[in-house]
Structure 1
Amino acid sequence: MTIALIEDDEAILRSLSMLLESRGIPVKPYVSAESFLAESAAPPPQCVVSDIRMPAMSGMELQQELKKRGSAVPVILITGHGDIAMAVQAIKQGAFDFIEKPFDDERLIDSISQAIESGDRQRVELTERALLKARLAELSPRQVEVMRLVAKGFSNKEIAHKLNLSSRTVENYRAWMMEKMAAKNLADLVRKAIALGFE
């Protein structure tokens, strides 16, 4: 796993690469956003560090393009004084951080570490959500309905009344649904329901 470093000034690109590699951070340097996008790296980088102002595609346009492609890779933008408004705009659109030039080495290293942690967390969450959706797809419409009501805090008796079922039937649905969703207990089920976007 590496950091993609994008900077059109080759001297800056070299010195930044050396700085990061001296801290044990593997770097893949690129002189333009286009050259980075043209190379479909597998596995993708853990983090993208890009200059905001580049001759063709800007760091901000790169970040928008990655978002469009559904990439969850965190983007850190390096920005000059005149680009602050642009950088704030980029944050609003999902960039992880922006760092003003001339920057402190430690500030960049810290930001990269936080971005990698955040990216890892996001990947885990996306994997978990995909797994939950697959489990949800195995439930019958009635089981989904029971799950929704259980997650809202209704008792078996209340659910039975709402759905015009016997309490025993609701208990059976609930047991099946808990098993299929691999919910350890009610609190775990509620967390899973929230992760799935249940109201």
Structure 2
Amino acid sequence: MSSSNTSRDQPDGAAATMVYVVDDDESMRGAVSMLLRSVGLAVQTFASAQEFLAFEMPDVPSCLILDVRLKGQSGLAVQEQIAASKLGLPIVFMTAHGDIAMTVKAMKAGAMDFLAKPFRDQDMLDAVTHALARDQERREANRVVDDLRRSYESLTAREREVMAFVAAGLMNKQIAGEMNLSEITVKIHRGQAMRKMGARSLAEFVLKAEALGVKAPQSTASPAARGSRN
């Protein structure tokens, strides 16, 4: 890895993104940190996985550069811990002792990249850029789902039931029969639910229900069977 000039550290609170580096080799930690900071990235380095896992991470797009062979614990074991914690943090592995089996295992477990030491500066920068972009996308997708959940929680029990039946493909008349309501009452509940969910069309309403995993009661007959009754 070639040398790079360093820039002044960014304050953690002001960082738009964060890159974590875990390696028990102090010289490698310093070199990777210097490289990343030279292109304006905020970096936090750790000598052990324990230090990293105990760190309170800011809520910004992030990624982890992780050495495969750490004293006391392998990087692959750390990867398993991160996966179990549901952090969803993209990982770029680096190693001087990697082999094909190790690489395959790491990639199958969701690693973004696997760089053998010594690596080219540009390869590391490209891997980090890709990983940060992936985490940004994940966070945006999570925010969308969180917003949907908040909207769904604002629905009444009847509105949720109507939404579930709509998502299952039932028409207003069929829903009225299932819920023992008038068709006009079903229309009112559906309209209120669509408004609260921010759905501008029935198709969008159904897509939002599917994104939330909303399902009709299992005891409900299939749309075809219901259609034959109406």
TM-score, length-normalised on structure 2?
0.76
Unpaired runs of 5+ in structure 1? none
Deviation of 1:44 after TM superposition, in Å, equals 6.3
| SS in structure 1 of the partner of residue 198 of structure 2 | coil
| SS in structure 2 of the partner of residue 82 of structure 1 | coil
| SS in structure 1 of the partner of residue 205 of structure 2 | helix
Query: For this pair of structures, how many residues does the alignment match?
Result: 199
Q: Does the 8 Å CA contact 1:4/1:45 hold for their aligned counterparts?
A: no
2:58 corresponds in structure 1 to 42
2:67 corresponds in structure 1 to 51
1:122 corresponds in structure 2 to 138
1:24 corresponds in structure 2 to 40
Deviation of 1:45 after TM superposition, in Å, equals 6.7
Q: Does the 8 Å CA contact 2:61/2:132 hold for their aligned counterparts?
A: no
1:72 corresponds in structure 2 to 88
* Structure 2 Cα separation of the partners of residues 82 and 114 of structure 1: 21
Q: Which moved more, 1:80-89 or 1:171-180?
A: 80-89
* Structure 1 Cα separation of the partners of residues 155 and 73 of structure 2: 46
Deviation of 1:24 after TM superposition, in Å, equals 2.0
1:1-199 correspondence to structure 2 within 5 Å: 1-43=17-59, 46-80=62-96, 82-198=98-214
Q: What root-mean-square deviation, in Å, do the aligned CA atoms of Structure 1 and Structure 2 show?
A: 2.3
Deviation of 1:4 after TM superposition, in Å, equals 0.7
- Aligned AA (2:75): G
Identify if the C-alpha distance between structure 1 residues 84 and 31 changes in structure 2 by more than 3 Å, giving closer, same or farther: farther
Deviation of 1:43 after TM superposition, in Å, equals 4.2
* Structure 2 Cα separation of the partners of residues 45 and 156 of structure 1: 43
Q: Which of the pair has more CA radius of gyration?
A: 2
Identity of aligned residues (%): 38
- Aligned AA (1:21): R
TM-score, length-normalised on structure 1?
0.86
Unpaired runs of 5+ in structure 2? 1-16, 216-230
Higher helix share: 1
